[in-house]
Amino acid sequence: MNKITLLFYFLVIQISAQTGISVSPPRVYFESAPGVSSTQTVTVSNVSEKHALDLAISLGDWNYDEKGDNIIQAAGTLENSCASWININKNDNYFSLGPGEKKELEITLTSPALPKDKLSVHTAVLFVSQMNPVDDVDSKGAKIKLSVRSGIKIFHKTPEVIKRKVEIKDLKFDASKKLLNITFENQSDAWTDGKLITDIVNTNTGKKISIAPIVFYTLPRNTRKISIPMQDITEKGSYNASVIIDYGDNETLEMGELNFEYE
């Protein structure tokens, strides 16, 4: 199993302004009952100013690791894969885009009439890959052949209402690295996205420090470990840290508190 951090796959890709692919939206969400087909449209753009792109479509599976990085595997490998449910017009499996040109792709997903599992959420990834590398140079001036790939994450869930629940499992302060380490679990049967909101109070002086919110994404039963930077703590003393996991409305909040000493 190869673990790949998809920094280059799920963002607009543009390198040295020589070649690049943009896909929009980067995530596509389907909701349908067994046996029902639904179609959504995504836009693929060639952001290069002078290079035409020959592009190919392929499918894969993906999941998150504990840090929230993406793990890519072959299509149909993971238990929650819906790669085999996806259909692209055969004329769109290979196509070319001139500089600045765009193309709309229709993604059709048909869930099985007789589901083979009891999972309420399935995922896949659709890749758009450049097949004609272009000449470029690296940071040291050496000549290279450059090609890029972009991906669209695909999510599917059944229409049933699913109650979302996130639970904090651990909260610790690492004084040597000035990090607040939190571990939490998505205990719901659906993907759950949100943000961590952290406030630190010096209980000796009453001074409050607000940390920039951290966005997270999870799939069902994912455990997530996130390190919250605490570099703004400079004064020695006693502190109270409160972390709110906001993953919906006011009824879907999880909060943890920690008292610690910084010396």
Which stretch of DSSP H or E encloses residue 23? strand 19-24
Residues 135 and 206 in one domain: no
Amino acid 143: pLDDT:
75
- Terminal-to-terminal C-alpha distance of the chain: 43
Query: 193 in a domain, yes or no?
Result: yes
Length of the chain: 263
Both 24 and 149 in one domain: the answer is yes
Do 130 and 72 share a structural domain? yes
126 found inside a domain? yes
User: Considering Cα of 91, then 94, then 62, then 42, what sign does the dihedral take?
Assistant: negative
Single-letter amino acid code for the residue at 133: P
- Of 140, 157, 174, the residue that ends a domain is 157
77 and 204 both lie in a single domain? no
Q: What pLDDT was estimated at residue 8?
A: 36
Q: Is residue 208 part of a domain?
A: yes
Give CA–CA dist 166/169, Å, rounded: 10
Residue 222, Cβ density class (10 Å: 0-12 exposed, 13-18 middle, ≥19 buried): buried
Nearest to 129 by CA among 36, 23, 236: 23
Shared domain check, 172 and 108: no
Cβ proximity of 149 and 128 under 8 Å: yes
Backbone angles phi, psi at 7, to 5 degrees: -60, -35
Claim to verify: residue 123 and residue 23 sit in the same structural domain? yes
| In-domain check, residue 1 | no
pLDDT at 86: 98
Residue 64 shares a structural domain with residue 130: yes
Pair (127, 179) in one structural domain: no
- Per-residue pLDDT, 42: 97
In a domain, 42, yes or no: yes
CA atoms within 13 A on the CB side of 254: 21
Determine the pLDDT at residue 18.
Answer: 54
| Domain span at 81 | 6-157
Residue listed under structure tokens 């690492």: 174
Residue type present at position 134: V
What CATH number is given to the structural domain containing 229? 2.60.40.2360
**Domain end point (choices 157, 189, 223):** 157
pLDDT truncated to tens, each residue of the chain (263 aa)? 333 333 333 333 334 445 689 999 999 999 999 999 999 999 999 998 888 999 999 999 999 999 999 999 999 999 999 999 999 999 999 999 999 999 999 999 999 999 889 999 999 999 999 998 877 666 777 777 778 889 999 999 999 888 899 999 999 999 999 999 999 999 999 999 999 999 999 999 999 999 999 999 999 999 999 999 999 898 999 999 999 999 986 677 899 999 999 98
> CB 223: neighbour CB atoms within 10 A?
14
Domain shared by 142 and 61, yes or no: yes
Closest CA to 28 of 133, 101, 106, 91: 106
Neighbours of 169 (CB within 10 A): 12
Question: What pLDDT does 225 receive?
Answer: 98
Q: Are residues 34 and 146 in the same domain?
A: yes
215 domain-assigned? yes
Note whether 97 and 206 are same-domain residues. no
Q: Same domain, yes or no, for 186 and 90?
A: no
214, part of any domain: yes
End residue of a domain, out of 93, 123, 157: 157
Full 3-state SS string of 192-256: EEEEEEEEEEECCCCCEEEEEEEEEEECCCCEEEEEEECCCCCCCEEEEEEEEEECCCCCCEEEE
Number of domain units in the chain: 2
CATH number at residue 55: 2.60.40.10
